Amino acid sequence: MGWIQRFKEWREYEMRAATLEELILQAGIGVDTITKEQALNIPSVAGCVEIISNTVAMLPINLYKDENGQVSIVDNDVRVRLLNDDTKDTLNAYQFKKQLIEDYLLVGNGYAYINKDRNKVKSLHYVDEVNVSVNKNVDPIFKSCDVLVNANLYRDFEFLKLTRKTKDGVTGKGIVNEHNDMLSVAYLTMKYEKILLKTGGNKKGFLKSQKRLSEEALTALKTAWNNLYKDNTENVIILNDGVEFQEASSTSVEMQMNENKRTNSAEVSKLFSVPMGLLEGNVTDDQYKNFIKLCILPILKAFETALNKDLLLESEKEQYYFAFDTRELLKGDIEKLYRAYEIAIKNGFMQWDEVRYELNYRPYGLNFIKLGLQDVLYNVETKEIYTPNTNKTSNLDNLPAPERGDKVEN
């Protein structure tokens, strides 16, 4: 019954959208392909893009080094400062990441020029995708491309490329292009409502006359008719005897504008994987968790992969990698944040000063890990077992058979 109900809802939405499209055509708006700028005029689109881009832009990016299984944070790398603080461009790091995500979502391409002096990155420069052209080769296997900006030719590795649903790694497909019909309905619904407000709700239709009107009467009627549909909603038109007004259409859809807008907003939210509750300010904890897992984390992974591909040298890719610090997502909920750090300290995989450092507190100067006397410590390399409660050390290989769990012969 689940899929039958969903099919009925889909058919109802399709019929309502079709009827609304007829009204839009009759209102003289016309249905056409909308642009990125027009899509951002839709409140639900602008809200989704703002929430997603702000969430990603506020997260710091760290550079990690994995050496012989030991992972450490690299603090003194210039690329980390460029990504988190000052890009050495007119955009700061927050604005830089925000614009890349906006282009990634809407048009499928986010570009940034990597300004280098030999192998050292000096600055990062966001480039609007409208100024970028890609010249690709014709080989479907061994793909290569060049990037053109204002007729200047660049190699593809000189650009940071954040692409959505790409087949070549350089050009992608955004939500505006992928779901243009859906967004067109939402956009034109808004335009139709604007026309109704500007004309005071006056509907378009036909004038019928039982007798032939003179040229003077036609001119006066046309002037009065044009004034009726101007911004001044107090304009009226008086029809002489024998002239009648016939509406072009009159359906129940016009009485369902609020319902249509809410339906369109819900459909747009699905395109961005953003729960409606997040736009309305009443999201639950479970909905927010799903938003992070299904919407934010895939974008973060795409961003990290692009950074690792374009910002790391070939000699660094074996040991170094970029990754977002997702702990910042919990700082809006202080109770959950403190509970997470409490678990970390209690289980001994974080020190007090490490926690205080992340919270921007003054350190205590205590480099200790909290251990309980009831714990038994086992060294997996030496196979030594230490029991703090009895201050006793033993080796697993030297333990007698009964203590090792072997069967005892009677």
212-216, 342-346, 381-385: which has the minimum mean pLDDT? 212-216
Q: Mean pLDDT across the stretch 246-258? A: 54
Digit-coded pLDDT (tens) for 51-70 = 999 999 999 999 999 887 77
Strand ranges, E, within 284-331: 320-324
Tell me what pLDDT residue 11 has: 52
What is the three-class DSSP state of 26?
helix
Q: Which position has the token pair 């992340």? A: 358
Q: Is the pLDDT of residue 287 over 60?
A: yes
Distance separating alpha carbons of residues 277 and 44, to the nearest angstrom = 12
Contacts of 379 (CB under 8 A, 6+ apart): 385, 386
Mean pLDDT rounded to a whole number for the chain: 80
**Higher pLDDT among residues 385 and 199, named by residue:** 385
How big is the CA angle at 271 (ends 267 and 275), to the nearest 5 degrees?
70
Distances (CA, A) of 242 to 222, 239, 245: 16, 8, 10
Distance separating alpha carbons of residues 203 and 229, to the nearest angstrom = 9
Distance separating alpha carbons of residues 57 and 293, to the nearest angstrom = 17
DSSP state of 194: H
Distance separating alpha carbons of residues 99 and 291, to the nearest angstrom = 20
**Higher pLDDT among residues 239 and 380, named by residue:** 380
Q: Is the pLDDT of residue 198 over 90?
A: no
How big is the CA angle at 81 (ends 344 and 87), to the nearest 5 degrees?
135
| Residue 60 burial (CB count, 10 A) | 14
Quick one: which of 122, 121, 99, 120 has its CA closest to 111?
A: 99
Q: Is the pLDDT of residue 302 over 70?
A: yes
Number of H helices, E strands in the chain: 14, 14
Rg, C-alpha atoms of the chain: 32
**Higher pLDDT among residues 261 and 154, named by residue:** 154
The pLDDT > 70 percentage for the chain reads 72
392 phi and psi angles, rounded to 5 deg: -120, 135
**Higher pLDDT among residues 228 and 42, named by residue:** 42
H/E element, 247: strand 243-247
Tell me what pLDDT residue 27 has: 45
Tokens describing residue 125: 């420069």
What is the three-class DSSP state of 200?
coil
Q: Mean pLDDT across the stretch 234-260? A: 54
N-terminal to C-terminal alpha carbon distance within the chain: 64
Strand ranges, E, within 49-158: 61-67, 70-74, 109-117, 120-127, 132-136, 145-149, 152-155
- When pLDDT is cut at 50, 70 and 90, the band that residue 28 belongs to is very low
